Amino acid sequence: SIFHPEASRVAQLAAGGKKGLAQSIFQVGGNGGTAIGPLLAALIVLPHGRLAVLWFAVAAIMGALILTRVGRWYKRVVNNISGQRRKVRSVVDHLSKRRINMALAVLVVLTFSKQFYLASMTSYFTFFLIDKFGVSIQYSQIALFAFLAASAIGIIAGGYIGDKIGRKYVIWGSILGAAPFAIAMPYAGLTLTIILAIIVGLVISSAFSAILVYATELKPGKVGMIAGLFFGLSFGLGGVGAAFFGWLADIRGIYFVFEISTLLPLLGIVAAFLPDLKKIDKE
């Protein structure tokens, strides 16, 4: 988890004015790995046993080698910047401290709704498919891969669109926009359930890079602190959400968990309280 705040700073330094897209590219690495996990479990681990997991360590070693080059580049850039700092007009110059803090609180609520819903999907979607439709473990894992792969694509799309039209609209549309599809999912047939899951993954995952870059614009010069806060919330809420829904599933069942969790994207309505930083930047 210590890796993510500083990596976000590196991504924004390399952004070239496209912070949303840069943040999305960084995040899609992790989400892409998460997405391919169930597929690899179905195709490699289940047929060959748990020792097959050792082969995946090769990816970690390759990542460490690549990061040594990134670290050297980052050091050069930081050294060049250190003596050239000057006052730059911020997109939040016209906002009061109270308005900025309220906007950050709204982003925390949105992160809660998104991460709790994703915790429900990533932890219990496979069990839901097996319980309701009687599909095999391999089929359920492939269906989860489809949802997570759509989420990875959504991250890239959200960053790119946020740079073009403004991050507030991506945040609002991605979380609230996923609500009708999520709400319909528990009542659909097998094929439609998977289609709806793909749409939800594509839409709702476009929010996080937009949320993170929007938050760093609210607190200019504090990219590491803000990235640490929101990545910490993301990981922490995901773990809490998985535990909470597991406790709830033991009491009321998997189907009830899905009915309740599909209401979470409705919290996206609070994005209406976010100031439009794109307009402020043009004033």
Q: What pLDDT digit, counting tens, does each position of 196-228 carry?
A: 999 999 999 888 888 989 999 899 888 888 988
Lowest mean pLDDT among 30-34, 63-67, 120-124: 30-34
| Cβ-contact 174, 206 below 8 angstroms | yes
For the question of whether the overall pTM of this predicted structure is more than 0.75, the answer is: yes
Q: Model confidence over 224-283: pLDDT tens digits? A: 889 889 988 888 888 899 899 999 989 999 889 988 999 999 999 999 999 977 554 443
Nearest to 3 by CA among 60, 53, 56, 58: 60
- 60 pLDDT band (50/70/90 cuts)? confident
DSSP character for 28?
H
* Phi, psi angle pair for 184, to nearest 5°: -75, -20
Report the distance separating Cα 271 and Cα 59, nearest Å: 38
Q: Which fold has domain 3-82+96-274?
A: Growth Hormone; Chain: A; (1.20.1250)
Domain ranges of the chain: 3-82+96-274
What number of CA atoms fall less than 13 Å from residue 163's CA on the CB side?
17
* Predicted confidence (pLDDT) at residue 98 exceeds the cutoff of 60: yes
Nearest to 265 by CA among 216, 195, 199: 199
Looking at per-residue pLDDT, the higher value among 84 and 151 belongs to 151
How does the average pLDDT of the chain come out, rounded? 86
